[in-house]
Each structure stands twice: as structure tokens, then as C-alpha cells.
A and B are shown apart, each in its own frame.
Chain A
Amino acid sequence: MDMSQLALGFAAALTPESLFYCFLGAFLGTAIGVLPGIGATATIALLLPITLSLGPLSAIIMLSGIYYGSQYGGSTTAILIRIPGEGSSVVTAIDGYRMAQRGEAGVALATAAIGSVVAGSFATLLIGALALPLSAVALKFGAPEYFALITLGLIASVTLAHGSVPKSLAMVIVGIMLSMVGTDLYTGTRRLTFGERSLADGISFVVISVGIFGLGEVIRTIGAPTDRDLITAKVQGLFPTRAQFRQMAAPILRGTAIGSLLGLLPGAGATLSSFAAYAAEKRFVRGPHKLGHGAIEGVAAPEAANNAAAQTSFIPMLTLGLPANPVMALMIGALVIQGIRPGPNVISANPTLFWGLVASMWIGNLILVVLNLPLIRLWVMLLRIPYRYLAPAIVALCVMGVYGTAFSVAEVWLITGFAAFGYALYRFGFEPAPLLMGFVLGPLLEEQLRRALIISKGSPLIFVERPISAALLALSVLVLAAMMLPRLRRRRATVFQEPEAI
């Protein structure tokens, strides 16, 4: 990497104006990210007029601040009230929420923040050093490669659960089934919408997340014989101990590596990365604090991964004009209206912009930590509110968040149904995390499979003729076999014991 270029970037990013917009973006992103549901959509609608009137560097600095701010905010709700803001924080909800139930919400939130900033710093360096060569990765991934990668991801997502393999697989399948609702990309057919126009674009992630995760949990907590207030009263330290720091170090590094790589693949990258990192931790973590029961590694690794991925997804965005999500699509829009075209020469044509953005990403991450560490105290205090007040507040925020996104009454009905569905899942001992993974990745699986077959004129050989896809599919088979065989033999007796949530 050219250090003088990076210095140029820091000079651009450290001007008071840039710093101000970086701070503003990170702040607004966090604030809106903690509102379940409303997330990026409202932020965009709200800030679009402002960003259009800013200079290109300020606009994109603020938008990217909002982007990772809202990602971080989404993890906060995942930890505090088990409502993941988007696909990439589903995994954080598993161990993070357990930690919060144990009174360690502060530690979980701090871990998430620290993991994010470490990962962000590394990924920023990576972008600075290797943006152009890495942009080729996205080009290498065509339909068959994506299909193979997602297959591997879905099979690995069974490891998210700690119960029986068939039950976790069943949840993945139910998730994919729910994701089929809506307009079929290839024929325009409206599938399983029952003539309801608001279902034409499918069920939104927020509806599933808020219904099954959030409200399902509210039903369970209020209905549980144990008094939840007794649990929240025993809040422990707000900040990780020295031993906990040691515990999270390696997972953060592993998560960063995984996330940096997968972030290069727009669309599936951020979500896949968080639970690829979690699956990897399953291999590494041993001992009593097992993953799935509130292990610090289960927060550190996926949070590092999704933040690293969020950063590296700027590479395909800037060099190919390929957005990974709606926020990035807006960034492209903001750049284009300023006369800057994302493309292979965006770096040489606009060095100040590119390096300024790279530098501001790093600064933004730092601002996020500085901003969020004091906030942790506030969040933990919120958890101390007696649950009989907190529960209606969660209901109100969920309903408003969902309704405020699309003004769709049908979606509010859906969260009603999914709340009961979420509770039923808990009763029958099914875990919701694999369902959400299936829901997020399912449409991509079908889309890429069908596209690959259209390109190959129906020949399935396309999946084995291409080396990357063949290797990934072989790996999927291995993972599936490794998962099925020993478990069936060894753990048949214990596998059904569902660990009760406290």
C-alpha cells in the first residue's frame, strides 16, 4: 500500500467537517439501529435530502457512518432483547442474549464493540492495501459458485443450534419455505401470497425477526414462572475482565479473517460471515462455557466477522459498482449524483475520496466505540426496568418499527402470527436461529441454482466443472457427513436434551 496515499486519506478524513459528518453518521446509525425494524430504510429516507446537498466525501463518510452505526445498533438489540436488526446479527443474539440473561449484558455489548473495532481496523488496512486485486474475487463468483457457497453455509448453519440435527435442519427448511413467499424473480409469478399485494415482495426479515425472536421471547418471559426481575437485578460488571479479554482475542482475529474474505461477495457476504465465524468457533471452543450458552466467543467472533465484512464489502461497491445492500445502493447513488462513477479506476481518478473514505472508516469505528462504551451503562439500566413495563415497551417499538417501514397493516398481522409461532417453536424445542439463516439465504440458494441452470441450459454439470464450486460442494458433503455420522452414533441419548433458557 502506498503510505503517502493513506496519509492523504487521513488528512481528508481528519478535517473538522469530515469528522463532524463521521460522528453524525455513526451517532444517527446507532440511534436508529437500536429501533427494531425501522433500521436503514428510515435512515435513508430521512437523510437523503441532506446527503445530496453535501460534498461527495462528506456524503459518503456520513452514509458509511450510518451503515456501520446501524449494524452496531442492530447487534445491541440482538443482545438486549433478542431482536437481531438484520441477518448478520442473528448469531449474536444466541450467545449475546444468554449473556444478558445472566446479567452480563454490559460485557456482551463491550465485547461486540471491541470485536467490531479490531475487525474494522484490520479490514480498513486490507482495503487500503489490496482493494483492486480483491475486487477480482467478486468477479470470480458466478451463479454456480454462489450456489455452492450458500449450500455450504446452510449446512453449516445447523451447527448454530445445539440440539438435534434433524430438528435444526427442519428449521433451516422452514426458513427457506417462508422466504419463498413473494414474486418469483424468474417468472414474475406471485408465490404463496394469497392474493395479498403487500406480500408480493415476500415477508420482510424484520417481520420474522421481530415476531419469532422478539415477541416470542416476550411471551415466554412474561409467562415463565421464574420472576425475570430477579434475574435482571443481578447485573454484573459492565466491562470485560482481563481473563475475558484473553478469551475473546483469538475469536476476534478468526472472525476478522473470515469476515474480511466473505465481505468481498456482495449479497450473502455479511450474513454468511457472522455464522461462518460462529461455526468456526464451535470447532475451537472447549470447556464449560460452551457456545450457545452465553459464551463470550459466541459474541466476539461473529461481531468481528460481520463488521469486517461490512468494511470489505466497500471493495465491490467502489470498484464494480455492486452494492451489497440498500444503504450501499444509496451510497452509489450519492456518488453518481456528485459525478463520481464507481469502477476500476475510482481509486486513481478520485484518490482523496477513496483514501478519505478508507481513513474515515477507521475513524468511524473508533468513534463508535467511544460513543457506545458510555451507552452500555444506559442500556444495562434499561434492562433493570421491571419487565411489566419493559414488555409493553418492546411491543410498542416492534409494532411501530414494522408499521413505520412500509405502512403495511398486513405485516403487523404477520408479526401477531409469528409471535405465537415463535412461542410454539420454543415449546417444541426448536431453535429459531437456523430458521432465520434459512430465511436469509434461501432465496439466494434458489436464485443462483436456477440462474446457473439457465446459463448451462439445464446441465447440472456446471456445478462440478467449475473448480471453486466443485470444491465448495465437496466440502458441503464432508461437513454434512461429519455432522450426521458421529452425532447419530455417539450422542443419540443426549442430543434431545434441550438446554432450557434461564
Chain B
Amino acid sequence: MNRRHALMALAIASLAVTGTAGAASAQSWPTKPVVMVVPFAPGGATDVSARLVAEGLSKELGQSVVVENRTGAAGNIGVAYAVGARPDGYTLLFATMGTLTTNPHLYKETFDVQKDLVPISKTFEVDHVLVVKPSLGVNSIQELVALAKSKPGELTYGSAGIGSSVQMFAVMLNMMAGIDVRQVPYKGSAEARVAVVGGEIDMVMDSPPSALAQIRSGALKALAVTNDKRNETLPDVPTMAEAGITGYAASAWGALLAPAGTPQPIVDRLATATRKVLADPAVIEKYKKTGLGAVSSSPEELRALIAADTKRWGDMVKAAGIKVE
């Protein structure tokens, strides 16, 4: 009873402040299915994780949460769709590091991620592993750096397109190790990885589960993982920092957001529910199989993360001279 009163008070207070009727419905929310917009195609890691979160949220909220894939333009179509939706809590956005923090530096868009969206919670984290072709003859990051320094501009890394985490993490290595490894773009990380196996290019930053089989068979050599802690799939592979690239720590992530103007009680309720979902051992287990780490955050932590990564990748984009005309 108490909680309901508190909510009511909150609703009335925010009604007074914003002067809209939207908040009044916040306490009864959700009364109809909630749409979770995913800006990527079905079946990918982002989509799978979104579906797991949606499934969990459906149970927590007692209303079905439906994933809607609005793909295209490096995720910008889905983000633009969510930004333009009514901020009533019935449209959510499941976006990624790339769409939220790299794209703004690459594409002129009609929206501002940090102004037009409100953060709810971080939803996953995914490490990358640096793999090289065995014929390159290097066994550690140090040897790779030495080799790259001895022939600047000769070695190549595969990227999954301009602004992809696969590229950004390699650019970061270039900058921090002071080497010049050239980018060769591919349509996706699978294509880039196969190009390393085939010997066409020298290295790629891939996700551990996709590279695992070929690392085990010896077709690829794993040198380091990008995060600041080791990856459970590849416990023998050191982190970048352990391998000697001090200060290197990066992982791609996903997050749940809502259009700006979504009533605060709804945002808070979603944040609490998402945290619960991501603590569920069954969800964690399914995440692990896809190579994702189940992490959640408070809305404030997510806001800070977005701001920090936006700055970090902005600096990287500028320094590396990546420019989209």
C-alpha cells in the first residue's frame, strides 16, 4: 500500500512538473505489449541478447515485450525510429556501443544520442580476441609489435566495416602500441576471420566464440583479449594489459534505452527489472554460449559510459583520420 502511495505521489509530482498526461499512466504501465526496437538483423549476437532480455522482462512486467528488428544504415534506422517514437514507455531501444558512441562521429544524423534517448541499463558486454595467422610467426603481442615496427604499413588487419568495434579496437592497438597496421575492410567479422585463416590478411579482432574452433585447430593464433580481465572461453589467452599494452581495455557492449521524455518511474522500473533479468542464472548461461557477458548497470552508470565512450572513440576516430564524407 505504501509503495503504491509513493508511486502515486511521484506520478502527481512529475505531472505537476512536466504538465503532461503521460506520467499519470506511468503507474498502470504497462497495459499493452511493449516494443523493443533492435537496430540489427535477427539472429546476430545483439538480437539474441535482446530477445533474452525481452523474454525476461515479459515475465517481470507481466506484459509481453516484443522485439522488432528495424535494421539498416549501421543501426541508425532503428535508433531514429526509437527516437521518433512516443515517449510513453511502450517503445524501447536495444542498441550497441557502435550505434550509440561511434556512429555519431561518422554520420551526420538528425538525432543526438545523448539528448534524445534516456539510458536504462547496460545489457551485455563482449570481449574481442586478437588472432593472427600462424604463418606470421609471432607468439605474443610484443613480437607482433616488434614485427609491425620493423615493417611499417606492411601488415594488415581485417575490419568489419568503418566504425565497427572490430576496427576501433584495432585502431586503438595501433595508437597505443605506436604501430602502423593497415585496415582491410570486410562485410563482416566472419569474412575477415576466414581471410586471416586463408592468409590474405594478417590479423583480426574477433569474438571469442566465433574464433574458438579455429584457435583450437591451430588455424589461428590468439595473442590477447581486449578486456581488462581474461575471457572464460579462452582462459589461457592473456589480456592486452598483461601482454604488455598497458592501459588497453575495451569491450563492446549493448544497452537498453528509451526515447527522451519517457516518465522517470517507468525508466526506474525497467532498470530494476533488467537488472533482475540479467542476474538470472539461466539467462547468464545462454549469454555465455553466445559469447556475451551478462552485465547490467544503473541508468546513471550507463549515461556516464555513453559519454565516456563517445569521447574515447571520437578521439580515436579523429586521431586515426577516419572520415566519412
B316 lies within 8 A of chain A by Cβ: no
Chain A residues closer than 8 Å to B156, beta-carbon distance? 454-455
Cβ-based interface call for A241 (8 A):
no
Q: In the complex, which of the residues A139, A316, A341, A451 contacts B184, with contact meaning CB atoms closer than 8 Å? A: A451
Q: Judge if A244 is at the interface, Cβ distance under 8 Å.
A: no
Nearest neighbor of A139 in chain B, beta-carbon distance: B198
Query: Do B213 and A342 touch (CB < 8 A)?
Result: yes
Which of B11-19, B23-31, B39-47 faces chain A?
B39-47
Judging by beta carbons under 8 Å apart, are B290 and A337 in contact? yes
Q: Are B72 and A455 neighbours in the complex by a CB distance under 8 Å?
A: no
Asked whether B289 lies within 8 Å of A321 as measured between CB atoms, the reply is: no
Question: In the bound complex, do residue A188 and residue B163 qualify as a contact, i.e. CB atoms below 8 Å apart?
Answer: yes
B198:A142 contact, CB within 8 angstroms: yes
Contact A333 B43 (CB under 8 A): yes
User: Which of the segments A95-103, A179-187, A282-290 contacts the partner chain?
Assistant: A179-187
Asked if B76 and A197 sit within 8 Å, CB to CB, the answer is: yes
- Could you tell me if B201 and A455 are in contact, using CB atoms closer than 8 angstroms? yes
CB distance A200 to B76 under 8 Å?
Answer: yes
- Across the interface, do A344 and B213 meet the contact criterion of CB distance under 8 Å? yes
Enumerate chain A residues within 8 angstroms of B163, measured Cβ to Cβ.
Answer: 188
> Looking at chain A's contact residues, is the secondary structure mostly helix, strand, loop, or mixed?
helix
B305 interface residue, CB < 8 Å from A? no
CB-based contact B213/A198 at 8 Å? no
Among B42, B51, B210, which residue has the most Cβ atoms of chain A within 10 A? B42
Q: Tell me if B325 and A187 are in contact (CB < 8 A).
A: yes
Q: Is the CB of B198 within 8 A of A52?
A: no
Tell me the chain B residues, 148-185 only, with Cβ under 8 Å from chain A. 156, 161-163, 182, 184-185
Say yes or no: B289 contacts A197, CB within 8 Å.
no
Chain B residues with Cβ under 8 A from A198's Cβ? Answer: 72-73, 77
Once the chains bind, are B70 and A341 in contact (CB under 8 Å)? no
Q: Is A140 an interface residue (CB 8 A)?
A: yes
Residue of A at shortest CB range from B193? A321
The residue of chain B having its C-beta at the shortest distance from the C-beta of A339 within the complex is B289
Please give the distance in Å from A419's CB to the nearest CB on chain B: 23
Task: Give the distance to chain A from B219, nearest Cβ to Cβ, in Å.
Answer: 7
In whole angstroms, how far apart are the Cα atoms of A44 and B40 in the complex? 13
Shortest distance from the beta carbon of B260 to any chain A beta carbon, whole Å: 19
Q: Which residue of B lies closest to A405 (CB)?
A: B71
| A337 cross-chain contacts in B, Cβ below 8 A | 48, 286, 289-290
Instruction: Decide: A333 near B213, CB < 8 A? Known: A321-B190, A455-B200.
Output: no
The reply to whether A407 and B70 contact each other, CB–CB distance below 8 Å, is: yes
A466 to B287, alpha carbons, bound, how many Å? 43
Nearest CB on A from B314, distance (A): 15
Contact B71 A336 (CB under 8 A): no
Determine if B273 is an interface residue (Cβ-Cβ < 8 Å). Answer: no
Number of B residues near A (Cβ < 8 Å) is 52
Q: How far, in angstroms, from A201 to B194 measured CA to CA in the complex?
A: 24
Say yes or no: A336-B325 contact (C-beta < 8 A), given A188-B162, A406-B71.
no
Chain B hits for A197, CB < 8 A: 72-73, 76-77, 80
A326 close to chain B: CB less than 8 A: yes
Judge whether B312 is part of the interface by a CB distance below 8 angstroms.
no
Q: Which residues of A contact B251 (CB under 8 A)?
A: none
Please give me the residue from chain B that is nearest to A44 by CB atom: B42
Task: Assess the A186–B162 pair: CB atoms within 8 A.
Answer: yes
Taking CB atoms, residues of chain A closer than 8 Å to B322 are 188
Task: Tell me which of B43, B198, B219 has the highest count of chain A C-beta atoms within 10 A of its own C-beta.
Answer: B43
Known: A142-B198, A333-B43. Is A185-B190 also a contact (CB below 8 A)? no
Q: Mark B201-238, 1 if CB is under 8 A from A, else 0.
A: 10000000110111011010000000000000000000
* A455 and B74 contact, CB distance less than 8 A: no
Answer yes or no: A176 CB below 8 A from chain B CBs: no
A55 at the interface (CB under 8 A from B): no
Complex contacts, B197 vs chain A, CB 8 Å: 139, 320
Other A-B pairs, 16, CB within 8 Å; known A321-B194, A451-B186: A41-B42, A52-B48, A138-B198, A139-B197, A142-B200, A183-B74, A185-B161, A188-B161, A197-B80, A198-B77, A321-B190, A329-B44, A334-B43, A336-B291, A451-B185, A454-B184
Can you report 17 A-B residue pairs in the complex whose CB atoms are below 8 A from each other? A41-B41, A44-B41, A44-B43, A142-B195, A142-B200, A186-B185, A197-B80, A200-B74, A200-B76, A201-B71, A321-B210, A322-B191, A330-B42, A334-B43, A336-B210, A341-B213, A455-B200
Cβ-closest 5 pairs across A and B:
A343-B213, A200-B73, A330-B43, A188-B162, A188-B324
Residues of A within 8 A of B (CB): 41, 44-45, 48-49, 52, 138-143, 183, 185-190, 197-198, 200-201, 316, 320-323, 326, 329-330, 332-334, 336-339, 341-346, 406-407, 447, 451, 454-455
